[in-house]
Amino acid sequence: MNLFKLLIFTLLSILYATSSFAGQKVTGIVYEDRNGNGTRDQGEPGISGVAVSNQIDVVQTDTKGRFNLAVTERTIIFITKPPGYQIPLNKKNLPQFYYLHFPDGSPKTFKFAGIAPTGKLPESLNFPLKKTSKLKQFTAIITGDPQPATNTHVDYFRDDIIADMLGEKASFYLALGDIVWDDLSLYGRYNNAVSQLKIPAYNVHGNHDMNFNSPNDEFAAETFRRIFGPEYYSFEYGDVHFIMLDDVNYQGWNEQENRRGSYTGFLSDKQLVWLENDLKLVPENKLIVLAKHIPIATDLTDSPSNNITNRDQLFKILKKRKKLLALCGHTHCTEAIKLGEQHGWTGTNAFWNINPGAACGAWWSGPKDIRGLPAALGKDGSPNGYYIFEFDGMNYSYRFQAANQQKNRQIRVSAPSGIIQQNDTLEIKIIANIFVGDAETEVNCQVDDRAVLPMVNQKIQDPFVADYVEKYPDSVNGWIRSPQISTHIWQADLPKDLAGGMHTLKISARDHQGKIYHESIVFEIAQ
């Protein structure tokens, strides 16, 4: 961060911290809703130490559960769910932890409705919490980019992803942005589908979730706020502090060309000040998990629309944290990168940025299977699907679950395949796509009973994708046709002296978590 940026951010931090909002105040109570009726009844006590925010300031409730915050004419007041408590859910299992204070409502000129005028603040703004057991271990279902563009796509999401998730036992579901693909009227059916999981459903704001005819970034999430609440907030399970961020900075409708405007990966000053205030109340013995749509950084491209461009300010806030994890979507590729100096991270603790790929793969396209569902292959050759994260105290592990496939389906061998001519063995490489592979993953291969050989990570396009596009040009989305490198391809030379006939190839991989994956195929050398 240069000195000018640092000065501006420091001045804004002081401004927000000292003046925050002028004028109107909101008071209320966070209480234990013992009978679960959503109303504070006699004998239901306040809960102390709960964080409450107006999107900038973060205060804690006093010994009687009371709080006091300043508000403006466009404020969302929300609480941070503490561990050992559950917040109310609406009929679609969306968490109800916030209050929209928009007396004048949203602009009326948007294609998709925003927030209706909310009127005056209540005399006491009360938030109910239901006491539950505090979990040390829990599981979360996490996916990127469901992104249906049509009702047919919602059908695909329901039948390919949600039906598959029903077999998982989890504390909550989290989608990492691009909940839909521009048509915000699809939020209803999307939420209906996700609600069948019968667990709290959290959602992050993505670049396809915006009100595109907004003049600027401030109003770009009006429909999202109406449906899901604040675009940035936090909650806790066990020893984990989850932070949802909105890192899509919309430049506003392009009046000159009468089309949607551009966007960049960026965290607003207001949001960064809130983040700093939020973390001040979080002890060091918590794992901090950041969930946002655009990656903090990706090794796929340096495009400003695919990386957080002011991540230096984010790193400054996070630098001294002991345990960190970042989650993202957006690229429609699975990717796990350990942030380092090349990304601007100079903290002493490991900081992984994990992208679970896209539920929609390459936008719900490709040839149909026997169920009538598209292959939805990802741009990097990974299947569409989701991740299962398991948390234990401050530690975590994860696995990839390809939609409608067995749990052990973690590798695809792109080459060799089929029947190979003797002369071609000089040219053919052994190529394996390790869907959760990272720079620290070790991959080996073995042909028949020969010596086990190491494979080398290569950032190249998966040849399986190139072949897929060539075979099915009329059914794949246009964006998958352009070459896309994958960060998780491994190569080795195919032995040149293989005899004619059948051969077995075994691939084994060990990722940075210590998890081991296997895949075997049979190929043939022409005789």
Q: In what order do the strands lie in the sheet with 456-460?
A: 411-415, 429-434, 486-493, 456-460
- Answer yes or no: are the C-beta atoms of 153 and 364 closer than 8 Å: yes
Q: Taking the model in full, what pTM does it have?
A: 0.93
What is the pLDDT, as a whole number, of residue 138?
Answer: 98
Q: What are phi and psi of 6, to 5 degrees?
A: -60, -40
Three-state SS across 246-260?
Answer: CCEEECCCECCCCEC
The second-level CATH assignment, the architecture, of 3-129 is Sandwich (2.60)
Spatial neighbors of 219 by CB under 8 A, at least 6 apart, are 106, 107, 110, 114, 211
Sorted by where each begins, the domain ranges of the chain are: 3-129, 132-402, 411-525
Minimal CA–CA distance to 282: which of 244, 315, 322?
322
Residue 523's Cβ-count burial label (10 Å; 0-12, 13-18, 19+) is buried
Domains 132-402 and 411-525 share a fold: no
Compute the residue count for the chain.
527
Residues 115, 260: Cα–Cα separation, whole Å: 21
CATH architecture assignment, domain 132-402: 4-Layer Sandwich (3.60)
d(CA 346, CA 3): 18
Query: Residue holding tokens 């059908």?
Result: 155
* Consecutive 10-residue averages of pLDDT for the chain (527 residues): 43 43 86 96 97 99 98 97 98 99 96 96 98 95 98 99 96 99 98 99 98 96 99 98 99 94 98 99 97 98 97 97 98 97 95 98 95 95 98 98 94 93 85 97 98 97 93 86 89 94 97 97 94
pLDDT of residue 427: 85
Read off φ and ψ for residue 197, nearest 5 degrees. Answer: -75, -20
Determine the pLDDT at residue 15: 45
Instruction: Please report the pLDDT score of residue 12 as a whole number.
Output: 42
Tell the CATH topology of 411-525. Answer: Immunoglobulin-like (2.60.40)
